[in-house]
Chain A
Amino acid sequence: MLFSAHQLSCIRSHKTLFENVSFQISAGQLLLVEGKNGAGKTSLLKLLTGLRRPDSGEVHWNNLNILNSESDFRSHLAWLGHQNPLKEEQTALENLILLGHIRPRNTNSMISALKTVHLGHVKHKFIKTFSAGMKRRLCLASLLIADTPLWILDEPQAALDKAGIALFEDLAEQHLKNGGMIIMTSHHSVNIAPEYIQTLKLGQESQ
């Protein structure tokens, strides 16, 4: 499994956010994308997921361009953006069932996923009663039930408290150990064993 980007560039309303960004990650590796706000971190992730076409350069999954359908890239990808894709009027379990439909499922049961993110006791409660941290953890649970090797996460630790961040780091390390891959943006460092981590700086220096 290989995920690589070649000379990516992105222009947003006349401004070149970044140019010739290239990297390559394979199984068991985490790419940490760092940069000031507005350096184009989210835009880069949009290019990597295929939500937006790069203005130049290409993104490859197992050496196939992710935008053409043969690469079947989407059934290997789990994406988590800034917002939590949850509906307030639904319970935690209902939301998880919905999120389960979006990506190929693995064998973990929903209930066990909720328990690992310490939400087992509130599975039948409406999301609108949840704190931001709890909602973020529910999204992390949706990653656990997906059979997708590649996780692309936009600031997964946002709104998480210290325990939440520790939980995320365990899940990430577990995922990397099982041969998964993670690309994530973050403002603060991720304390996982450094040999897993590759960093990519975005912003003025790379110009």
Chain B
Amino acid sequence: MNSFLTLVKRDLLLAYRSRGEAFNSLIFFGLVILLFPIGISASEKLLAEIAPGLIWIAALLASMLSLDNLFKEDFHDGTLEQWALSHHSLISFAWARLLSHWIITALPLIIIAPMFALSLNLPTEAIGVLIISLLLGTPLLTFIGGIGVALTTGLKKSSMLLPLLVLPFYIPVLIFGASAVDVSADGWSAAGQLYILAGLFVLGITLAPFAVATSLKVSVSQ
């Protein structure tokens, strides 16, 4: 267990030391949101209507793009091989990496999201539900995405493969996440959507690490 904690501590320390990297997903998140009012139209009514879906799609894209280097560095410098051959199971390594990656990239995003929501004049009562839905949804995105990353880590050329593998599995999370915020923006209770999201969350974080560990073993054996 403490090797799990040391790993997480080490990852956070590394992220702290190279701070720039963690901000990239934040900047990307802001940029994507900036595009919509410019691209579509800045009329308040329309923006308020698309705001829930838009914030969720921006968070989904930011999380997916930041996934790419989740295992790549460990694969190339041999750390992955070491952990694959350690007497600890690879699942605890996968868990630690996914958790620290979520803390580094998704947590700051959730903290910033309300500010962007206001800029899209999302009704303020929906902000609370937005944060809860992101708190439940983004770990799910990271864990499911982790499976795709583990499968493609061994590839020489970094291709567009990851989004292709992972986006179909993001769809249920997007459906319930976006509609939770959308429904609460109209003043209805979003409990139903959040419960389902919580259900998916539990299913995701329990099953995904097994798939990630198995996929890492396959990538390491290349």
* Chain B CB within 8 A of A124 CB: no
Beta-carbon contact of B83 and A102 below 8 Å: yes
Interface bits A32-67 vs B (CB < 8 Å: 1, else 0):
000000000000001001111100000000000000
Mostly, the B contact residues are helix
Instruction: Given A51-B220, A94-B10, A102-B83, check contact A85 B78 (CB 8 Å).
Output: yes
B220: A residues at CB distance < 8 A: 51
- On whether the beta carbons of B82 and A102 are closer than 8 Å, the reply is yes
- Binary CB contact string for chain B from 67 to 93 against chain A (1 if under 8 A, 0 otherwise): 000000000111101111111100000
Report Cα–Cα, A74/B221, bound state, in Å.
16
B206 touches A (CB below 8 Å): no
Residues of chain A contacted by B3 (CB below 8 angstroms)? 101-102
B136 to chain A, nearest CB (A): 31
The answer to whether A98 touches B10, judged by C-beta atoms less than 8 angstroms apart, is yes
Interface residues of B (CB under 8 A from A): 2-3, 6-7, 10, 13-14, 17-18, 76-79, 81-88, 220-222
Distance between A88 CB and nearest chain B CB, rounded to angstroms = 9
Question: Do A82 and B78 form a contact, CB below 8 Å, given A87-B14, A94-B10?
Answer: yes
Task: Tell me the bound Cα distance from A118 to B17 in angstroms.
Answer: 27
Asked whether, in the complex, the Cβ of B86 is within 8 Å of the Cβ of A85, the reply is no
Q: A81-B81, A84-B78, A85-B79 are in contact. Are A103 and B14 (CB under 8 A)?
A: no
Residues on B with beta carbons closer than 8 Å to the beta carbon of A51: 81, 84-85, 220-221
**Chain A: minimal CB distance from B86 (Å):** 4
Tell me if A99 counts as interface (CB < 8 A to partner B). Answer: yes
Q: How far is the CA of A84 from the CA of B79 in the complex (A)?
A: 8
In this complex, the member of A81, A85, A101, A104 whose beta carbon has the largest number of chain B beta carbons within 10 angstroms is: A101
Given contacts A98-B6, A103-B87, contact A46 B221 (CB under 8 A): yes
Task: Judge if A11 is at the interface, Cβ distance under 8 Å.
Answer: no
Bound complex: CA A112 to CA B205 (Å): 41
Q: A70-102: which have CB < 8 Å to B?
A: 72, 74-75, 77, 79, 81-87, 89-90, 94, 97-99, 101-102
B209 → chain A closest CB, angstroms: 18
Smallest CB gap from B217: residue in A: A51
- Within the assembled complex, what's the spacing in Å between the Cα atoms of A85 and B10? 14
Which residues of chain B come closer than 8 Å to A103, judged between CB atoms? 86-87
Partner of B87, one of A53, A89, A99, A104: A104
B10 partner residues in chain A, CB cutoff 8 A: 87, 90, 94, 98
The answer to whether B77 and A84 have CB atoms under 8 Å apart is yes
| A94 partner residues in chain B, CB cutoff 8 A | 10, 13
Q: B78 — which chain A residues lie within 8 A by C-beta?
A: 81-85
Contact between chains at A97 and B6 (CB < 8 Å): yes
Q: Is A72 within 8 A of B87, CB to CB? A: yes
The residue in chain A whose Cβ has the minimal distance to the Cβ of B80 is A85
Which residues of chain B are near A83, meaning CB under 8 Å?
76-78
User: Could you say which residues of chain B place their CB within 8 Å of the CB of A50?
Assistant: 85
A96-127 Cβ-contact flags toward B at 8 Å (1 or 0): 01110111100000000000000000000000
CB pair B82–A74 under 8 Å, yes or no, is no
A82 / chain B contacts, CB cutoff of 8 Å: 78
**Chain B residues near A85 (CB-CB < 8 A):** 77-79, 81-82
Interchain CB contact (< 8 A) of B221 among A53, A72, A102 = A53
A86 to B81, CA, bound (A): 12
Given A99-B82, A103-B87, 7 more pairs with CB closer than 8 A? A81-B78, A84-B77, A87-B77, A94-B13, A98-B6, A102-B85, A103-B86
